[in-house]
Amino acid sequence: MQYRGVVLDVDGTVVRGDEAIPGALDGLSAIESAGLARLFVSNNPTKAPPAYEARLRKAGIEATAEEIVTSGTTTTVYLAEHHPGARTYCIGESGLHDQLRDAGLELVGPTDAPDVVVVAIDREFDFDDLRDAYVALRDGAKFYGTDPDIIIPTADGDIPGSGAIIHAVAGVAGREPDAVLGKPSAVAQRVVLERLGLPAEDVLVVGDRLDTDIAFGLDAGMETALVKTGVTDEAALANSPYEPHHVLDGLGDIGRLLSK
């Protein structure tokens, strides 16, 4: 198949921590040589695209903020469209708070009658946060999660992600989120395809996670390639309802798909 664009997951696919995964730079060179449009699409909401640009450059990857979409991006796009200027209580780290403010949302405390509760990874999440989210949701606030990733890969090993905290809040609130806005959501699909300016059938999605990266591509009608450098092992692949079109040892092997 002849692709015109590629969507690349970041953590576990291109980098781990601040270092490029072995072979990733070769894979990126093959994509550049093929003349494909590209986007780096991450479910990490803690950094805005300019901060991701700096992180990728540190790993030896030349990228611009315009080539980067995060779950923070998709969350702020959705909230700005559907809840412009909303009073927002956010469980999340400072980078996400900044993105929400930049989108025109008013960040408030849990006792300030928030219209919206946004939940994401927060490495200082505690009992008080859980209680406060419960109270805000009990009192009628809308409930949004940035992304469903329960476990995320880091340089020091896998750690709990946004999905773990979203599940904790949903459990105590007795309700599911009104939407989870990162991959594989329809919101993320729309934002990515609009940014690429391509139809789904011309795009290849490459990622390490079946229930986000591969589901994202399959649901949108894109072709998909799973890399085995992240969280998915052979057992998970064999038992998953999401079947990628291709399985690669790593991004360095993408050239064989581009030469078909």
- pTM value is 0.94
Residues marked active site are found at 9, 11
| Total residues belonging to the chain | 260
pLDDT tens string 245-259: 999 999 999 999 997
CA distance to 49, 68, 70, 93, 98, per residue, from 46 (Å): 10, 13, 9, 6, 10
What lies within 8 Å, CB to CB, of 76 at 6+ separation is 99, 100, 102, 103, 105
Alpha-carbon Rg for the chain in angstroms: 18
Domains in the chain, ordered, with CATH?
Answer: 5-43+183-258 (3.40.50.1000), 83-180 (3.40.50.1000)
pLDDT tens string 83-140: 999 999 999 999 999 999 999 999 999 999 999 999 999 999 999 999 999 999 999 9
